[in-house]
Amino acid sequence: MRLSHLVPGAPDVAVTGFAIDHRKVAPGTIFGAFEGARVNGEDFIPAAVEAGAVAVVARSAARVEGALHVRSDEPRALFAALASRFFAPFPATCVAVTGTNGKTSTVEMTRQLWRMAGRHAASIGTLGVTTADDRVTTGLTTPDVVTFLSNVGGLAREGVTHLAFEASSHGLTQYRTEGLPVAAAAFTNLSRDHLDYHGDMAAYFTAKLRLFAEVLSATGTAVVWRDDPQSERVVNLARERGNRIVTVGEHGDDLRLVAREPTLLGQGLTIRAGDADHRVTLPLIGAYQAANALVAAGLVIATGGDVAATIAGLARLQPVRGRLERAAITTTGAPVYVDYAHTPDALEAATAALRPHVEGRLILVFGAGGDRDQGKREPMGEAAARTADVVIVTDDNPRGEDAAAIRAAVLKGAPGAREIGDRRSAIAAAVADAGAGDIVLIAGKGHEQGQIVGDLVLPFDDVAVARECAA
């Protein structure tokens, strides 16, 4: 592709790629220089030009010498728009999911439902890039825009026609998911998270609303979990833009959850669609798993899926890695579950999901991450003390903070909890303590394969450790 085709009036030189890291610049690259929370990309413009950048997308005030300066008041947005033209074409049907909890499960369930309908589908999010044949971990809920668009373009070249991806608040704020024709956008729920980045709940919600205000196609559909208190704002925004609206949940108009009955290994759902009631057994436990499944079904139906066949497909959904995943059974017969819950609301949802299956005690092992929203730590402790019978506070990913100080903040909300800093020892203690009729829940890290301590990522998998301890 030629630079003149991307930027009117630009020199007619070849464009070989895009980069926002100057170390990845090669001759012919368009470099994006953005101001960040910790690093200012404008400081690396000379290095990028020296490495062969033919153009630099940056603020008008930035200094660019030796390459075309493509100026913009919002350089991230312009960079994404140019990159999308370079990496296109993309899958014909793309949908995005935002919300505090449930994004990963919803995009993966959407992918599975599409696959059941014979579609060549993929998902992108916290678990990585997932297709029917392969999975490539990216390590971020929403990767940088170059990685994201190159991955999506690559999927299209492999024949993928349907894509579901997570749209995090960080990703939406930083224009990491731009350039795709988004046919449907879903809202799951809103609760406290990432306030270390956004500052307050209003800014956090505004970031998520950008998916519906700017990213969703003008002819697209908004799929909304109607039982969340903030869903009204999403519905009103979609209505103002003239988007089609599909609502799901107990208060949903399109897929109404009429009844939900827990079973030994799942739950029976009665879903009303139009004038018909559909009964299906979802092989996943917990109210929030039912919520994610209904949102996924809403996305599939919004993009042309058959209503009856899609609802029937819920009975064949497979568990999502690290989301209420049953990791092991102890020698006493107590099941051990692993979940990614790392907010007060998510902890309550996970414990509530398991409670109907507990005959004895619910034993909870969890911690809080370092260098993240400190204000949620005590509420997490309060949620744990309120919903579990036995609470063990341990380390999550301390990152650059003192692990003992993080645990102390959590313990303020759960003063009667047991403190075991070493996560392996905490899991071992919970497994050893579990008797017949008890259930163990290990929360916070879910699918993660490492524990971040300082600048190190130490190998650690909650599922693997639980199995070792149970054995």
The dihedrals phi and psi of 353, each to the nearest 5 degrees, come to: -65, -35
Looking at residue 196, its pLDDT comes to 52
In this prediction, residue 272 carries a pLDDT of 98
In the DSSP assignment, the letter for residue 214 is I
Q: What is the pLDDT of residue 201?
A: 61
Please write the tens of the pLDDT for every residue from 58-73.
999 999 999 999 999 9
Q: Write down the pLDDT at residue 193.
A: 56
The encoded tokens of residue 463 equal: 């599922």
Would you tell me how many other CB atoms lie within 10 Å of the CB of residue 242? 8
SS3 166: strand
Q: Which domains does the chain have, with CATH numbers?
A: 3-86 (3.40.1390.10), 88-316 (3.40.1190.10), 325-470 (3.90.190.20)
Please state the residue numbers annotated as binding site: 99-105, 141-142, 168, 174, 176, 372, 396-399, 444, 448
Per-residue confidence (pLDDT) for residue 259, from 0 to 100: 96
| 110 contacts 95 by C-beta, under 8 angstroms | yes
Instruction: Compute the distance between CA of residue 439 and CA of residue 304 in angstroms, rounded to an integer.
Output: 40
Helix (H, G, I), strand (E, B) or coil at 235: helix
Going residue by residue through the chain (471 aa), what tens digit of pLDDT does each one get? 999 999 999 999 999 999 999 999 999 999 999 987 678 999 999 999 999 999 999 999 999 999 999 999 999 999 999 999 999 999 999 999 998 888 999 999 999 999 999 999 999 988 889 987 766 666 555 578 999 999 999 999 999 999 999 988 777 878 888 889 999 999 998 874 555 554 576 777 788 888 998 989 999 999 999 998 889 999 999 999 999 999 999 999 999 999 999 887 789 999 999 999 999 999 998 888 999 999 999 999 999 999 999 999 999 999 888 888 889 999 999 999 999 888 998 899 899 989 988 999 999 999 999 998 899 999 999 999 999 999 999 999 999 999 999 999 999 999 999 999 999 999 999 999 999 999 999 999 988 989 999 999 999 999 999 999 999
pLDDT of res. 192: 47
Q: What six digits make up the tokens of 465?
A: 């450790």
As annotated, the binding site for ATP includes 99-105
| Per-residue burial over 161-183, b = 16 or more CB atoms within 10 Å of its CB, e = otherwise | ebbbbbbbbbbbbbbbbbbbebb
Is the model's pTM score more than 0.95? no
Q: Is the peptide bond before 398 cis (omega within 30 degrees of 0)?
A: no
Query: 279-305 pLDDT, tens per residue?
Result: 999 999 888 899 999 999 999 999 999
Q: What is the pLDDT of residue 42?
A: 95
Q: How far is CA 285 from CA 40, 76, 238, 357, 434, in A?
A: 45, 41, 31, 9, 20
| Binding-site annotation, residues for meso-2,6-diaminopimelate | 372, 396-399, 444, 448
3-state secondary structure 368-383: CCCCCCHHHHHHHHHH
pLDDT value for 138: 60
